[in-house]
Amino acid sequence: MISITELNKIKAEQEGIVAMRREGEAKIADLNAQGKNYKHHVLVCGGTGCTSSHSEDIIVAFNDEIKKNGLENDVCVVRTGCHGLCALGPIVIIYPEAAFYANMAIEHVPEIVTEHLVNGNIVTKYLYEKTVTPNGIISMHETDFYKKQNRVALRNCGVIDPENIDEYIGTGGYQALAKVLTEKTPDDVIQILLDSGLRGRGGAGFPTGRKWMFAKANKADQKYVCCNADEGDPGAFMDRSVLEGDPHVVLEAMAIAGYTIGSSQGYIYVRAEYPIAVQRLEIAIKQAREYGLLGDNILGTGFKFDIGLRLGAGAFVCGEETALMTSIEGHRGEPRPRPPFPAVKGLFERPTILNNVETWANIPQIIMRGPEWFAAMGTEKSKGTKVFALGGKIQNTGLVEIPMGTTLREVVEEIGGGVPNGKKFKAAQTGGPSGGCIPASQMDVPMDYDNLIAIGSMMGSGGLIVMDEDNCMVDIAKFFLEFTVDESCGKCAPCRIGTRRMLEILEKITKGQATMDDLDRLEKLAAHLQKSSLCALGQTAPNPIISTLRYFRDEYIAHIVDKKCPAGVCKDLLQFSIDQDKCIGCGLCAKNCPADAISRTDYIAPGHKLASMAIDASKCVKCGACMANCKFKAISKQ
């Protein structure tokens, strides 16, 4: 068990090493800090995305080449969390030069070790191209992807070794817990959170300080602190990345919450599909217990608090707080009626506070830097920053953290690098299945809790999926509703039955079998679900439908009245045809047709030697193989 004095000693030993990896300090930091004589730090992304692209093999290759060149005492290789720019993974950053190597491959490693680490020459051909300018190499934080970001929740991701507690302490880790235990009363902590304006990052945006205040006011003999790491939105990976890159920040924040509300036990509910996050949480909890930062008599103050892990089976409904608690108790994850709210009667029928991973990740910094610092970022009613998982039809897929109030246009066109292949931006979907679609006409609306709700979407946990002109908005609404139908727990009739009826109508629309009466029925069902469903899953399930009807009603009408899908997506409404004057008669389309629907005609186009091909619409299964294999763009779909 360490004391506060020993905690400060570890911080002093590590802070120079960690600071060297932070932008702006790389050139001035003492590379021989605290007797560590490493001349270079090789940071390799160990997040899920880069790991799936063999970053673990790259780490092995670096260590082998370093050993081969006798550099073991000069170079250390550090497995970090996500750096954010997932489109360029695997990512390797070498300090002190801050050289950002993108799309790394094992075969690049020997050259980088020889040229960069031995000879001192940065290998520019492997650098992220945006860091190479006519005036020389610039920092990654000067690129369009990073320069508008403000990494608060993600501050340590991509910087520290998440499996080394000393490195977390070197960033100032566990100092907030020490400060709270020795200098602040529980009421002081609550007031700091209230003054900061921190709202829950899990979707609803409820003020964190008020939630803690309600739980503290309850005089029960046992209370609980829970972390919601059951991130289920399609395309969302914000919480996973924090857990993979900085797990101790969640443990520290939960311990602070335990002290504040009078709890001795916390639980982290994380989905089992996050094996790397689970592994790093297990390591972090073990290390924190060994250091006495979890358990009895923390930092010699007499405060007792411990944390247990509970793995979820991947049910989306368990992201709802009461269903999550029911699952922790060992029952089938189903929501409970509210009130009573968890702060009164939650886990095991005891007062409970629950926040998601991103919310927890903000708290230690708010304690250390003050509520004014946090409140200075963002908008009047939405303070701080927000992490988004940027995906879909976008150049720079990845993880971004921006001040609240940043516009969608800034995110898509500047940070995201725009829509690829010269396509036009059509919409962005925020909030996952519970959110709505934001059209191009609303791209300049500042993104915060209230503005997104006003335009028919919601913040949600932070998924942001970009769509271009080739996306059908009716099909998008159907996709999210299919997800909701599958994930409904079935406890309440409005959600269990209503979502299926809405999906049936959407299927009729995409098949060209619906009438305008079906559209009216769809809107009425959506309104009923919003009012009568038991939990937020059912209440928000109609949001993708409502928002697409609001901004893209013409597409619904085209499907119903004209029996056409303007985007050419809905299979049952497609017709493939061959322009016989463009067709050279090569026969590739017929060879690749699985239904033998293409045959040769008697027509030979001017300038061609072979008769052109034609499609038999009665046999066509509309798979698109013919169009994909035509090299002369003679096949089109309508």
pLDDT tens digit sequence for 480-505: 999 999 989 999 999 999 999 999 99
Tens digits of residue pLDDT in 85-121: 999 999 999 998 899 999 999 999 999 999 999 999 9
**Residue linked to tokens 């990073």:** 146
H helix runs in 79-228, sequence order: 109-112, 144-147, 165-170, 175-183, 186-196, 208-217
Rounded CA-CA distance 161/276 in Å is: 13
> Among candidates 482, 469, 484, which has minimal Cα distance to 427?
469
Q: Which structure tokens are listed for 483?
A: 């997800």
Share of the chain above pLDDT 70, in %: 98
Q: Which of 32-36, 131-135, 250-254, 338-342 has the weakest average pLDDT? A: 32-36
Tell me what the mean pLDDT of segment 547-572 comes to: 94
Per the CB < 8 A criterion, the answer to whether 536 and 200 are in contact is no
Tens digits of residue pLDDT in 195-215: 999 999 987 789 999 999 999
Rounded CA-CA distance 505/402 in Å is: 38
Reduce the DSSP state of residue 293 to 3 states and report it: coil
Q: Is the pLDDT of residue 537 over 90?
A: no
Rounded CA-CA distance 25/99 in Å is: 14
Name the maximum alpha-carbon separation found in the chain: 92
Predicted confidence at residue 27, as pLDDT, reads 42
At residue 612's C-alpha, the angle toward residues 607 and 618, to 5°, is 160
Per the CB < 8 A criterion, the answer to whether 552 and 437 are in contact is yes
Predicted confidence at residue 16, as pLDDT, reads 80
DSSP 207: B
Give the DSSP letter string of 76-120.
Answer: EEEEE---S-GGG-S-EEEETTTEEE-S--GGGHHHHIIIIIIT-
Per the CB < 8 A criterion, the answer to whether 172 and 10 are in contact is no
Q: Is the pLDDT of residue 450 over 60?
A: yes
Q: Is the pLDDT of residue 583 over 50?
A: yes
Tens digits of residue pLDDT in 149-162: 999 999 999 999 99
Q: Is the pLDDT of residue 341 over 70?
A: yes
DSSP 130: G
Q: Is the pLDDT of residue 35 over 50?
A: no
Predicted confidence at residue 25, as pLDDT, reads 47
Q: Is the pLDDT of residue 457 over 80?
A: yes
127 phi and psi angles, rounded to 5 deg = -75, 155
Rounded CA-CA distance 59/377 in Å is: 37
Rounded CA-CA distance 260/366 in Å is: 15
Predicted confidence at residue 23, as pLDDT, reads 56
Per the CB < 8 A criterion, the answer to whether 565 and 574 are in contact is yes
Q: Which of 63-77, 237-251, 454-468 has the weakest average pLDDT? A: 454-468
Rounded CA-CA distance 240/246 in Å is: 10
Predicted confidence at residue 114, as pLDDT, reads 97
Q: Is the pLDDT of residue 632 over 50?
A: yes
Q: What is the 3-state secondary structure (H, E, C) of 239-262?
A: HHHHHHHCHHHHHHHHHHHHHHHC
Reduce the DSSP state of residue 174 to 3 states and report it: coil
DSSP 612: P
H helix runs in 464-570, sequence order: 473-487, 493-510, 516-532, 536-540, 543-557
CA 96 to chain centre: 29
**pLDDT, the chain, mean:** 93
Its pTM stands at 0.92
